[in-house]
Amino acid sequence: MTANSYGFDTLAIHAGQEPDPRTGAVVPPIYQTSTYAQDAVGAPRLGYEYSRSGNPTRDSLQECLAAIEGGRRGLAFASGLAAEDTLLRTVCRPGDHVVIPNDAYGGTFRLFSKVAERWGLDWTAAPLQDIDAVRAAFRPGHTRLIWSETPTNPLLNVNDIAQLAGLAHEYDAMLAVDNTFASPYLQQPIALGADVVIHSTTKYLGGHSDVVGGALITADDGFGDELAFHQNAMGGVNGPFDAWLTLRGIKTLGVRMERHCDNAERIVGYLSEHPAVASVLYPGLDTHPGHEVAAKQMSRFGGMVSFRAAGGPEAAIAICNRAKLFVLAESLGGVESLIEHPGQMTHLSAAGSALEVPADLVRLSVGIETVDDLLADLEQALG
């Protein structure tokens, strides 16, 4: 099944998920096995030998991921960072260089600064919404990858995917886009020129805060084969039950994202008028510097909202602590609404660096609850 033949919601429900040929089960089985009986020496049945190398449940998820992102090959991992690490070590060698966002996710920054750098990989942080700054950060012959998030976590900056792809390809480099915040329902980077898409499937794809996972989706079969080799060689795969949970979540991604967006838009309107809020960061606002680019490459503006507290860092922390219906927790993209203080939670690893986030910043993952209840909780939390 491909995006050319079916709509998004049909792909989300059916791609890679044909009824079980043996029993007719509508939902793909969980193949909870580590190994497989072989028909003869050198003749594994249907190519399955060992579940690190291949598992039918994971294969169903991988086929679905490729279909909903409009890619050629999908690969599933134990976490988003396992997917990121596999991508870096497939594309890069010691001595190579990567351009990353100057407001990257804290875990991504930690991977580059504390792990990949020790392996010999160099990197430069740049504001990816400024194409001239990205070009200035390039080291022709050494830069192998532009690493983009759009919208970014947690400042919700927006990068022009097509523009970045053109620059990367001009220098024979690749563009990787972390599409976690938008989800493939709202944005499809491969159609805009990206070479590979990254997901923390823990977030909107899983959608229920009950599974951790990651994914890579490629625009090219050959590059997909290279990543698949490293996926097996490095071994950071997800288990069959995790793959099954993620598939279950994907089935309702479209309807969930519509409610996430509806609720977020109502909350943004409320926060924009509240005296305890200094500014609201949301790509759907006309005043957002990336609004026009977001409107061009996204179908809607997502369920993530950040704002800066008028009372400063202490006020931001107090707001987080007073919330009741908004659960004080890391992560995002689940059906329940979450609130966090990025500076002391998800982005603590960036403290003291050029990627440190403002101390008065609050990030909301707006869920799919009744929006009036969410607004009432924010009213009491803001004080």
User: Is it the case that residue 255 has pLDDT exceeding 80?
Assistant: yes
| DSSP secondary structure string for all residues of 43-75 | EEGGG--BTTT--HHHHHHHHHHHHHHT-SEEE
**If pLDDT is split at 50, 70 and 90, which confidence band does 2 have?**
low
Q: What's the whole-model pTM score? A: 0.96
Residues 169, 159, 97, 83, Cα dihedral to 10°: -100
| 9 annotated active-site | no
For position 354, what pLDDT does the model report? 81
| 372 annotated active-site | no
User: Is it the case that residue 275 has pLDDT exceeding 70?
Assistant: yes
Q: Rounded to whole angstroms, how far apart are CA atoms 297 and 46?
A: 40
| 203 annotated active-site | yes
Q: Is 43 exposed, middle or buried (0-12, 13-18, 19+ CB in 10 A)?
A: exposed
8-248 has which CATH code? 3.40.640.10
Please give the C-alpha separations between residue 180 and each of 52, 205, 269, in angstroms, as whole numbers: 25, 8, 24
| Residue of 52, 72, 139, 259 with catalytic role | 52
Provide the 10 A C-beta neighbour count for residue 237: 24
Task: Average the pLDDT over 219-229 and give the result.
Answer: 98
| Residue of 58, 110, 203, 256 with catalytic role | 203
Residue-range domain boundaries for the chain: 8-248, 253-382
Task: Find, among 217, 219, 292, 210, the residue nearest to 245 by Cα.
Answer: 210
Q: Output the six-digit token pair for 53.
A: 């190398």
For position 3, what pLDDT does the model report? 64
| Residue of 59, 85, 160, 178 with catalytic role | 178
| DSSP secondary structure string for all residues of 222-250 | HHHHHHHHHHHHH--PPPHHHHHHHHHHH
- Half-sphere exposure of residue 322, counting CA atoms within 13 Å on the CB side? 15
Q: Collapsing DSSP states into helix, strand and coil, what is residue 101?
A: strand
Q: Are 360 and 319 in contact (CB under 8 A)?
A: no
Q: What percent of the chain has pLDDT over 90?
A: 95
| Residue of 36, 105, 185, 204 with catalytic role | 105
What order do you get walking across the sheet with 361-365 strand by strand? Answer: 277-281, 304-309, 361-365, 338-340, 327-328
The contacts of residue 5 (CB under 8 Å, 6+ apart) are none
Tally the residues of the chain: 383
Instruction: Dump strand ranges (E) for the chain.
Output: 38-40, 43-44, 73-77, 97-101, 122-126, 143-149, 174-178, 196-200, 214-218, 277-281, 304-309, 327-328, 338-340, 361-365
Task: Find, among 253, 246, 280, the residue nearest to 264 by Cα.
Answer: 280
Task: Average the pLDDT over 246-270 and give the result.
Answer: 98
Q: Are 227 and 73 in contact (CB under 8 A)?
A: yes
Q: How far apart are the first and last CA of the chain?
A: 51
For 22-26, 68-72, 371-375, which range has the lowest pLDDT when averaged over its residues? 22-26
For position 350, what pLDDT does the model report? 83
Q: What is the DSSP letter of 116?
A: I
Q: Is the peptide bond before 101 cis (omega within 30 degrees of 0)?
A: no
| 251 annotated active-site | no
Provide the 10 A C-beta neighbour count for residue 280: 22
For position 347, what pLDDT does the model report? 86
**If pLDDT is split at 50, 70 and 90, which confidence band does 257 have?**
very high
Q: How far does Cα 53 stand from its chain's mean position?
A: 24
**If pLDDT is split at 50, 70 and 90, which confidence band does 267 have?**
very high
Q: Output the six-digit token pair for 258.
A: 């519509």
What pLDDT, in 10s, does the model give residues 48-107? Answer: 999 999 999 999 999 999 999 999 999 999 999 999 999 999 999 999 999 999 999 999
Q: What percent of the chain has pLDDT over 70?
A: 99
Estimate the share of the chain in helix, then strand, then coil, as percent rounded to the nearest 5: 40, 15, 45
Domain 253-382 CATH assignment equals 3.90.1150.10? yes
Average pLDDT taken over every residue of the chain: 96
The contacts of residue 314 (CB under 8 Å, 6+ apart) are none
